[in-house]
Amino acid sequence: MKQTRTNSACHSARLRRYHLALKSTAGMFCCLCLSLSGTSASAAPPPYQAQRADSVPEARKDYIQVFNNRQPRHDASGAFSNMYGASVENNPVINNTNKMQGLLPGVFIMQNNGEPGDESAGALMRGKRTFRSNAPVILVDGYERSMDFLDPNEIESITVLKDAAATAQYGLRGGNGIILVTTKRGEEGRIRITFNARTGMRSPTTTPKLLNSYQYATLYNEALTNDGAAPKYSDTDLDKYEKASRGIYENDLDRYLYPDINWYDQYVNESTWQQRYSVNIDGGNKVARYFVSAGYTRNSGLYKTDENANTYNTNADFNMITLRSNVDIQVNKRFSMTLDIAGRQEQRTTPGARADASLRVFRSLYKTPPNAFPVFTPDGTLGGTKDFTGNPYGLLNNQGYSLYYVRSMFATFRAKHDLDFITKGLAIKANVAFDSWYDMVTNRSKSFKVFDLRQANGNVEYKPDGSIRYVETGSNTQMSSGVEYPTTQRIFNVDASLNYDREFGRHAVSAYVAMAQRIISNENNGNIPRAYLGSNGKATYVYNKRYIAEFNFGYQGSEQFLPGNKFGFFPAASVAWVASEENFLKNNKWVNFLKIRASHGLTGNDDIGGYFVWYQKYATAGGVNFGYTSLGYTGWNESAFALNNVTWEKVKKTNVGIDATVLNNKLRISFDWFYEKNTDIMIQPALPNIMGIRFPDFPIGVIENKGFDAAVAYTQKIGKVELTLNGTITKAENKVLDRGEEKQRFEYQARTGRPLDAIFGLEALGLFQDQAEIDANPRQTFGVVKPGDIRYKDQNGDDVIDAYDEVYLGQGNFPSLQYGAGLGLRYGGFDLNVLFTGWSGTKQNMNGEAMYEFHDNGTVREHHLGRFNPNDESSWANASYPRLSLSNKANNQRTSTYWLTDAAMIRLKTMELGYTLPENISKKIRMEKVRVYVNGYNLFTWSDTDLMDLEARSTHYVLYPIQRILNAGLSVTF
C-alpha cells in the first residue's frame, strides 16, 4: 500500500494487517489499518511512545528489537518497555542515559555527577539484586557498546528488556536486564537532510550556603568555649571581621589580614554554556538505503579560571565529534546486507594532574574558611598557611592539567540470505562486529607555594627593607613533561543464526538458533584477552492470533570459570493470551486490545569479583627470622586459597503482566509484577581471625527482589487541541536472605533479612537540655556528653548506649520507588511537553562537609546558626543542630536518625515549548519542516533538604554539581 503524492508506504505483516502512515495537510499523522481477513478498515492511533510524537516509521513501531532480530509486538510475551527518538533528541542533557529517567517503567536512573564529559548516571533495571554489579547490559544495534557516545539524533529507539523471557538469550550477562539502543536507518525515497542546532545555559541545581568571616569567627569561638578552651578571636578581631563582611577596612593591610571570601562564589560561575550541532542525511531506493550523521558537542566548565595565567586550558571542558553511516543494500531478491560504521573522538580537560582533580577543587571551595587567607598577598603571591595549602586559585591555575583523549571506531557487517527455495520462511544470517578503542590520559603537573602574612605568633613582621616577612609553605615547580597512560581495547564479535518464520492457516511459527563469540583484548594493562562463547535461540508459536507460547535459551561460557564448569544453560518460557481476539471481546467498544502474559526462567551474572579468582595465589611475605640473628629473609605465602566452586550468579525470574488499550484506543496501560531470586552470589563468609588469612568469596549469597512496574498513556483530541497524559512507576524491594553472616548478639542487628543498602545506626531522641537530663538517662559511651549533645535510645535495656544499640534505620542509596508523569499539548504548530520525575523509599545520611561544623578543619554553613548554644537558653528547646565543638564530636557525629533525612524528591525534569512552521510556509522557503523550541532540564526540585541535590548521593557532597539547563534549539529538514 502507498499513499499518493507521498513516500508513505507499508509492507505485509505476519498478522495480515497493513499499517500506513497517512500525512495530512496539517502535518499530523494517523494510521490506517486494513485487515485482509475481512473487508473493514479502521483508523487507530499509533502505538504508545514516551512523551513526544516523532518521525519513526509506524511500520517499525509494530515490532520490537530483540538482539539482532525483530519480533512483532503482538507476539511478544516478555516484559519490555521502549521510547522513541524525539524524547532523546530534544532533551538538553548531554548524557543519553539520563534521558531515560521517568520515561521507561522498570528503569531506575540517578545522576551523581555534573562534570562535562563525566555526567555519569547509575542505571538499574528493577532495582538491586546482588552485592556485585547491578548495572544492566547496554547493547547498541545488538552489541555491547556505550550509548553515551551516540549523538541523540542517531537514536531511533531505546528498548529495555526486563524479564527472563526477554534476557535469557544473553546467558551469563542477562541477570541485570538489558537496555537495547537501535540507531536510525535510511528510508526509501528522496534524499532528506536534517540540521539540528541547540545551545544551552548550564547552572548548578544547588549551591552551598556558606557563612561569612564574622559568623565563622563567632561560631569558632563558641565551639572552643564549649570544649573548655579559650576563644581564638579577640573582640577586636570580631569587630574587624564584622566590618569586612560589609566591605569596610580600616587600612589596606586589613584586607589581607581579615579577609572575607566566599570561595564558592569566588571561583564558580553562576552559569556556563553548552552547544550541540548535528546533520543527518538519509534516503535511498529499492536497492540501497542510507543514513549518515555527523555531530559536534561542546560543554564548558563552571570554574572561574584565569585565562591570562596559562597558554593551556585548565577548566573542565568537553568536546566530542561523532560520525555514523548506516547502509542497507538489497543485492537481489534473496540476499541483503548492511554495513554500519560509527566513530567518536572526544577530548576532556580538568584542572590539576590528578584523577580526583574536580573532587579536590570542590572540596577546597566547600570547606576552606572564609578568613583562612587572602587569595593574593600584598605583593601578588598566593595566600595560604601551613594548615591551608590548597589555595583555590592555585588549584585551578597553578597545578597543571589532565587531558583525556578518546578515539573509537565501531563497525558492523550483517548479511542475510533467504532460503525460500528450501522451505518458505527459512533464512540464514551472519554478523561481524569490530570495535576499536584508544584512550590516552595525559597528566602534566606542577606545584605552587603559598605565603602567610602572619608569623607563628599571629603577628606581621617586616624585613629591614620594609617588605613583609612571609611564612612560606610548599614549592613552585615548573610544568612536568607529562605522564601518559594509553589504553587500547579491541572487541571482536561474530555470530550466525538460522531463522524460520512462517504461517500455516491459523498457526504462526517463528524460531531461530544462533552461535556467538565475543573476544575482548586489552593490550596495555597486561590482562589476557577475555572471551565469551555460546549459543542462544528462541521459538515462538501463535495460534489464531490469540494464544502465544515461547521458549528462549542461552548457553554461554567464559574463560574466567573453572575448567569443566565454564558453560551454563539459561532457559526461559513464557505464554500470553490476547483476550481481545476472543469473540466475547472482539467487537467490544470499550476494550480495543487486551493481552495477559507470564514468564519464568533463569538468567545469570558473571561478575564474581575479578578474573581467575579460583586460582591458588601466592605473594611475597615480609620475611621471617632464622637462627639467632634479627636478619629477616623474604619468602612466599598463600595470598588466596584455591576454589573449586566458583560459579556465576543464578537469577530466577518470574513475571506476570498485562497490556491493554481501552476507550477507543485513547487509554493504554501496561502493568508487570515480578519476583526475582539471586543465588550463588560470591561473598566472603564471616570467619574468625584465627584463620590467619583472608578467606576468598564463596557462592553463598542469596537475595530476593520483588515489585511491579507500570505505564499508562491517555490521548484525547478536544477541538483543535491534542492532549497526551502519560506516567510510569517502578517499585522494587530487595531483601538479603543469606550473606554468610555470623549470629548477632541481638536479633535486631542482623543484616540478613534487610535490604542491600540498609543503614544501621542509633535512634536519636533529641538533644540533652541540661546536666540533670544527662544524669537521668542511660550512660552514653561515645566520649564526654554535655548539654546540647544528641540523646540516644537504649534498645536492649542495659542502661548503656553503645554499638549494641544500633538498629535498622532505613534504605540508603537507590530508592525503592521511582516514577514519572508527563503532559503533552499540541495546538496548530505549537507543542508543549512537560515531565515530572521523582522517587521515594530511601534515606540520606547527611554527614561530612555538607553537614558537620568545622569538618576536617573546614568551615560552617547557614544551618549551623540553628545550633544549641549553652549560653543562650532561648535556643535550647528549638535548636536544630547540636552544640558546636572542635574536638569532642564522637557522640554527635555517629550515624543516627538525627542526621537521616527522607531522600524522597519530585523534580520538574524537562519542559519544552516548540513551534513548527505550517507546511505551506516551509515549502515557500524550500524546506520540508522547520521547528524552533526552548526547553529546560532539572528546572525545579521539591525535597526535604536544600543542603545538597539528593540525586547526587555523594559521600561528601563535594563532587561537581548536577546541572540545571536552559536550552534553545532549531531543527530544519530539507
Q: Can you count the helices (H) and strands (E) in the chain?
A: 12, 50
Distance CA 752, CA 143 (A): 37
The pLDDT of 674-696, averaged and rounded, is 81
Task: Give the mean pLDDT of 143-148.
Answer: 92
The three-state secondary structure class of 195 is strand
Residues 6+ apart with CB under 8 A from 858: 366, 367, 368, 369, 849
Q: How does pLDDT run across 556-575, given as a tens digit for each residue?
A: 999 888 888 899 999 999 99
- Please tell me which residue, 609 or 231, carries the higher pLDDT value: 231
Alpha-carbon span 562 to 816, nearest angstrom: 36
Residue 47 has pLDDT above 80, yes or no: no
Cβ density class 248-285: b for 16+ within 10 Å, e for less: ebeeeeeebbbbbbbbbeebbbeebebebbbbbbbbbe
* Whether the Cβ atoms of residue 620 and residue 635 lie closer than 8 Å to each other: yes
pLDDT digits (tens, 9 = 90+) for 159-193: 999 999 999 999 999 999 999 999 999 999 999 99
Whole-angstrom Cα distance, residue 317 to residue 298?
8
pLDDT of residue 954: 64
87/75 Cα distance (integer angstroms): 26
Mean pLDDT, to the nearest integer, of 197-205? Answer: 96
Element (H, E) at 241: helix 235-244
| Gap between the Cα atoms of 702 and 699, Å rounded | 9
Which of the residue ranges 10-24, 621-635, 851-865 has the most confident prediction, judged by mean pLDDT? 851-865
Instruction: Quote the percentage of the chain above a pLDDT of 70.
Output: 91
Instruction: Check pLDDT > 50 for residue 5.
Output: no
Q: Residue 15: pLDDT above 50?
A: no
**Residue 966, helix vs strand vs coil:** strand
Q: What is the DSSP string of 343-412?
A: EEEEEEEEESSSTTHHHHHHHHHHHS-TTS--SB-TTSPBB--SS----HHHHHHSSEEEEEEEEEEEEE
All 3 cell numbers of residue 755?
Answer: 535490604
pLDDT value at 29 more than 50: no
Instruction: Say if CB 321 and CB 344 are below 8 A apart.
Output: yes
- Residue 780: strand, helix, or coil: strand
* Sequence-ordered list of residues with C-beta below 8 angstroms from that of 872, at least 6 positions apart, any chain: none
Q: Where do we find the cell 537469577?
A: 651
In the structure, what pLDDT confidence band is assigned to residue 24 with cuts at 50, 70 and 90?
very low
Q: How open is the CA angle 256-261-264, to the nearest 5 degrees? A: 145
Pairing of strands 649-662, 624-625: unpaired
Cα 845 to Cα 764: distance, rounded to the nearest angstrom? 13
Confidence check: pLDDT of 693 > 70: no
111-120, 682-691, 933-942: segment of lowest average pLDDT: 682-691
Handedness of CA 106, 75, 173, 572 (dihedral sign): positive
Of 643, 699, 673, the C-alpha closest to 131 is 699
Within 10 angstroms of residue 467's Cβ, the number of other Cβ atoms is: 10
**pLDDT tens for each residue of 319-371:** 999 999 999 999 999 999 999 999 999 999 999 988 788 888 999 999 999 99
Residue 727 near residue 834, CB atoms below 8 Å? no
Q: Is 538 a residue whose pLDDT tops 60?
A: yes
pTM above 0.85, yes or no: yes
> What pLDDT was estimated at residue 689?
64
Identify the three-state secondary structure at position 747.
Answer: helix
Task: Tell me what the pLDDT averaged over the chain comes to.
Answer: 89
What gap in Å lies between CA 108 and CA 190, rounded to an integer? 41
Specify the residue for cell string 537514536: 155
All structural domains of the chain, each given as residue ranges with its CATH number in brackets, are 1-43 (no CATH), 44-191 (2.170.130.10)
Neighbours of 485 (CB within 10 A): 13
Residue the block writes with cell 535486631? 748
pLDDT over threshold 80, residue 14: no
State the pairing for strand pair 764-767/155-161: unpaired
Bridge partners of residue 540, in order along the sequence: 510, 550
Alpha helices in 46-114 (DSSP H): 58-61, 85-89
Q: Give me the percent of the chain exceeding a pLDDT of 90.
A: 76
